[in-house]
Chains A and B, each alone.
Chain A
Amino acid sequence: MTALIIVAAILVMLVFSVIGVYNVLVRLRNQVNNAWSQIDVQLKRRHDLIPNLVETAKGYMQHERGTFEAITDARSRAMGAGTIPEASKAEGALGEALSKFMLVVENYPDLKANQNFLALQEELSSTENRISFARQSYNDQVLFFNNKIQMFPSNIVANMFNFSKRDFFELENAAEREAPKVSFN
């Protein structure tokens, strides 16, 4: 009789701890999804800003058609991206095109004095920051979630209910990684 009670008690405890771990996993997964939607919101904000920016700058920079085309192309490719790795790549390329554009802008003092453009520039740099902070927060959440899924004992529960690892969101930006070299000889 006592043995039965002990076995029953152990079983009940096991069930409760499985429920507990399961709930933690679901919460973490929801946080990952929420963080991802934050990135999505900011990427959309970036896509919406670009036509305005191009429109404002076009009047001042008639000879930079190539730069504008690069941005518009990168934008449409980024908007069409489906999977996370695809989006990472396309958004990285768009970021690169935008930073090149900002470098070119340095040569047009009239444009830089335009109030409308200055406001757009602040919005754009804030959007770039938002994307990187949203990405930072998403990657933190993914790290927590992946750790939980892979570590004992929560990995048992994760396997039981088919929780799968998530991908990190890295923006591919070759230009940022290369340090500029200055030589005088």
Chain B
Amino acid sequence: MWELIRANKRNSIVLMVLMAGTLLLLGYFLGIAFAGPQAGYIGLIIATVIWLVLAMTSFMGGDQILLAASKAKRVTHDEYPQLFNIVEEMKIASGLPMPRIYIIPDPAPNAFATGRSPQSASVAVTAGLLGRLNRDELQGVIAHEISHILHRDILYVTLAGIMLGSIVLISQVFLRSMFYSSMGSRRRYSSGGKGGGQGAIIMLVVAIVAAILAPIMAQLLYFALSRRREYLADAGAARLTRYPEGLASALEKIAGDTSPQLAAVNKVTAPMYIVNPFKKAKARKLSDLTSTHPPISERIKILRSMSSGASFKDYSDSYSRITHHKTIVPAAELTAEAVALRQAGAEAKKQQRRGTQMRQVGDIMRQINHFVFLTCLCGLKLKIPPNYKADKIKCPRCKRVLDLPKSG
């Protein structure tokens, strides 16, 4: 666990440095393009100031901004006792302090976690999620979010999201001002380029290219790391609940959902959610590189094929089996600790039991009504009504023709 957290912190720093580099370079080129070769440093300073202001706000209250942007409302134990209890259960399993709980009034099922540190973390779920999932499934989703907190993904997502936001902001402002000023007077950027006209044009082209490429680069970096973190949070959820089926069936329900797309969501906040909040029609066109989340069907398959246990090693084995990639779990976490799987919770078991009970009751009713029972070689149990007169019957599953025993 500690190795994973350390690796995540290291990755976060690398990503922050790369993004900061992109941001500063962008500022430098834009400064030159706006006001001549001497002004590169001014651009650099402006970019740094914008980044510092945004980073400060995100560090002090980024989670609050994100929650407000998603229209989330804080809830207490009395309003949603079950949700509150489930979060508390996962808090105990993970040994973290209790996060704040928010509900997003939206019918699309989704969830995210945010915050600066485990001490100031928040978990938000949509009303649609609460309505559709049973207790075990909700537990799986909450465990996934708690794992994001445990792995220190939340600070990274908040900081990287804000950084990406500022890069996008600066490029957009530049490109738009270029567009409008080229339509109107050209005074703005020709004033600095009086001395060497050609040099200024080259710089201008470089700046435009940088302004277009920088946001794309930053997004690719952001998305690449966030996909990996989704897998790891799934592994963490399996380990916390010891019941991968809960999360798997929750993901299945969320994927099969047909309600409209989550309303308050944008490119920057998308990677925070448990599944990509942008609907499939759009996501399918994008290539693997630009998607923020691993394919949901793959995540389900990996969770379902964890048959031997619920440790990180079991998840990693299952991951390699399904994707044919090498492991995504840091080597130090692959110790052979034995983590046994757990049975389904009382509610799911009750549902299962009710299913078999219904079938048994049905069989008893048929027996009373003189049905003939016949087990085919393929294992299917045929229930033949007494008014069936022919002496041969075809099995509906394997199409084998069976002889009926003569009754009486």
Contacts and interface: CB of A to CB of B under 8 A. Distances in A.
Interface string A38-62: 1000100000000000000000000
Nearest to B86: A126
A130 interface: yes
B337 A122 contact: no
A70 interface: no
Given A35-B95, A129-B345, A122 B82 contact: yes
Interface stretch (A7-15, A133-141, A152-160, A167-175): A133-141
Contacts of A133: 89-90, 92-93, 240
Interface string B316-342: 000000000000000000000100000
Contacts of A42: 92
A38 B92 contact: yes
Contact of A125 (B88, B90, B337, B346): B346
Q: Is the interface of B mostly helix, strand, loop or mixed?
A: helix
A101 to B, nearest CB: 13
A34 to B, nearest CB: 8
Nearest to A132: B342
B92 A137 contact: yes
Contacts of B363: 184
Nearest to A143: B337
Interface string B79-114: 001100110111011110000000000000000000
B242 A136 contact: yes
Contact of A136 (B82, B86, B93, B364): B93
Given A42-B92, A130-B92, A133-B93, A123 B81 contact: yes
A137 B143 CA distance: 14
A182 B90 CA distance: 35
Contacts of B81: 119, 122-123
Interface string B235-256: 0000010100000000000000
B346 A137 contact: no
Interface residues of A, number: 20
B336 to A, nearest CB: 12
A125 B346 CA distance: 8
B92 A134 contact: yes
Contacts of B364: 184
Contact of B85 (A102, A122, A182): A122
Interface in A35-90: 35, 38, 42
Contacts of A125: 135, 345-346
B396 to A, nearest CB: 23
Contacts of B290: none
B360 interface: yes
Contacts of A119: 81
Nearest to B88: A130
B87 to A, nearest CB: 10
Nearest to A133: B93
Residue picked from A38, A42, A119, A126, most chain B C-beta under 10 Å: A126
Contacts of A143: 337
Contacts of B82: 122, 126
Contacts of B85: 122-123, 126, 129-130
B355 to A, nearest CB: 13
The 3 closest A-B CB pairs, nearest first, are: A126-B85, A133-B93, A133-B92
30 contacts: A31-B95, A34-B95, A35-B95, A38-B95, A102-B346, A119-B81, A122-B82, A122-B85, A123-B85, A125-B345, A125-B346, A126-B86, A126-B88, A126-B89, A129-B85, A129-B89, A129-B345, A130-B85, A130-B88, A130-B89, A133-B89, A133-B93, A133-B240, A136-B242, A137-B93, A137-B94, A137-B95, A143-B337, A182-B360, A184-B360
